[in-house]
Amino acid sequence: MKRLLLIGLMVCSWLATPVYAEGLLMFRSKQTFPEAMLALQGAIAEHGYTVSRVQRVDIGLTTSGYTTDKYRIVFFGKSGELNAIKYAEPELIPYLPLKIAIFAEGQETMLVTANPVQYASFVRNKNIADILRRWENDLRSIFNDMK
C-alpha cells in the first residue's frame, strides 16, 4: 500500500513540477514603455513586493547610436526575505534585491530578469531554496499579469 501511495505521489509531483530552469526569464510586452513600466510596478506590488528603487540607465545612450534612452532597472523585494537570506546565505547578497531590466524596443517593451532558481545550486539552506523557487514563480506570475 505504502509503495502504491509513493508511486502515485511521485507521478503527480513529476507532472506538477517543471523539469528545467531557464537562466533568463524574458517577456515582451506589447505595451509602450511608460505603460509597461506602470504595469510592472503595479504587478510587483500586487505580489506583495516593495519597489525599492528605479535606476535609470540612460546616460549617453542616444549619443551612442540608440534611438531611445528608455532603459531602467527596477529593484524590489520583501524585507523579511531579504533579512532571512542575508544571514543564512550571505553569498547571495550581491544578487539582492531582485531586479528586472526594462527597456523599450520600438513600440513594445522588453523585460528581463535572472531566474533566481539558478542560485539554488549554491544554497545549503532548504528554506532559502524554497524562497528562490517562490521568487521564480512570482516573477513568472508578474510577467503573466502584464499580459
Partner 1 sequence: MSGYVKTQLARILLLGGSLLLAMTASAAPNGEALYDQHCASCHGYDGHGGMGIPLALPAFLQSVPNEYLIKTIRYGREGRVMPPFKYLSDAQIDAIVKHVRGFSSAEGAPLTLGSVQGEPKNGARLYTKYCATCHGANGEGGKGTGVTFSRPRDLPVIAPALNNRGFLAAASDKMIKQTLMKGREGTPMQSFLKQGLSESDINDIVSHVRSFEGQTRKSASPEKQDISPVLVRESSYDLKTTIENVKAAAAAANYRLIRVQELDKGMVKEGKESQKEMVIYFCNFELLNNVLALDPRVGIFLPCRVTVVEREGKVQVMSINPQHMSALYNNAELDKACDEMTAIYENILEEATL
**Rule CB under 8 A: which residues touch partner 1?**
1, 4-5, 8-9, 11-12, 15, 19-20, 23-24, 26-28, 30, 50-53, 55, 57, 59-61, 64-68, 70-71, 73, 75, 77-79, 82-83, 86, 90-91, 93-97, 99-106, 108, 110, 112-114, 118-119, 122
Closest to 98 in 3D by CA, of 58, 127, 138, 125? 138
Measured from the CB atom, the residue of 71 and 133 that comes closer to partner 1 is: 71
- What's the rounded Cα separation, in Å, for the pair 85 and 116? 13
CB 113, min distance to partner 1, A: 6
Question: Can you tell me whether residue 23 is helix, strand or coil?
Answer: coil
CB 126, min distance to partner 1, A: 19
CB 69, min distance to partner 1, A: 9
Closest to 39 in 3D by CA, of 111, 138, 147, 146? 146
| 127 HSE (CA, 13 A, CB side) | 10
